[in-house]
Structure 1
């Protein structure tokens, strides 16, 4: 189903504030509460809304390091990549993992308390994962733009 102007406005309002009440959402998209609630339920049912969540502060949680790790495999066997992907799901400090094209096989986004903590994680966890032959890390010096939601093109 195509999204109309009101659906798009509702989705944008939710991306800005996932805890907004139906009353506030209705006001933001110029609807009354009942039609707004019906639209929201329909958007959820049709899969436009994956989930609701809260973004936590890395700083408040003492996670001062944000690293991007390029992971490379020496052997590209399906069973190795399947096992790697299963194991990476269970590692909380890996906040995202993408199978990518180019010189690396995976791109991970990893958080750590400090550089020492990251170094121990690299040595004891990341390099020990199945299939991993090399890891190249880059560190965020400053976050310029945080996940602000998807554009509605």
Structure 2
């Protein structure tokens, strides 16, 4: 199901990206609708898949996962079987919170979240470099997180 987003839908989405737990009454008041039409619009956005799901965003440090690293991965080949095997393996690794197949220098880019550098070394040795099809992994360690958001820039 596909729907064209109007200005009101975009206002609803901006508010929900900021606070998905907002009550329908408060959401309706904030976007200038009465509760019933507001709820109807939210349901349509959900049914269309524009709102894919609702999640709780955790503070990684508070749950003992204070280190984020970026791993650039080179595969042994770029055929469909190698890439599919790599993708399937990435989906099983909880430490890999984002995985992108890349066009450019490396074949994939991973965002990995672990407790500390020792935990990453263990993860890399026990899991990442043992995956069939991975030729090389280069890891980048960010020194500071300047911006991290999950909200899309809706005009």
Report the TM-score range of the alignment, normalised by the length of the smaller protein.
over 0.9
The CA deviation at 1:95 is: 0.2
Say whether residues 1:93 and 2:91 are aligned partners. Answer: no
Q: TM-score, normalised by structure 1?
A: 0.95
The separation in 1 between residues aligned to 2:56 and 2:117, in whole angstroms, is 26
The residue aligned with 1:40 is 42
Aligned residues: 153
Structure 1 runs (4+) deviating above 3 angstroms are: none
The residue aligned with 1:65 is 67
Q: What are structure 1's unaligned runs of at least 5 residues?
A: none
Alignment RMSD: 1.1
Q: What are structure 2's unaligned runs of at least 5 residues?
A: none
The separation in 2 between residues aligned to 1:81 and 1:129, in whole angstroms, is 11
Say whether residues 1:110 and 2:132 are aligned partners. Answer: no
13, 18, 32: which is aligned to 1:30?
Answer: 32
43, 48, 51: which is aligned to 1:49?
Answer: 51
The CA deviation at 1:72 is: 0.2
SS in 2 for 1:60: helix
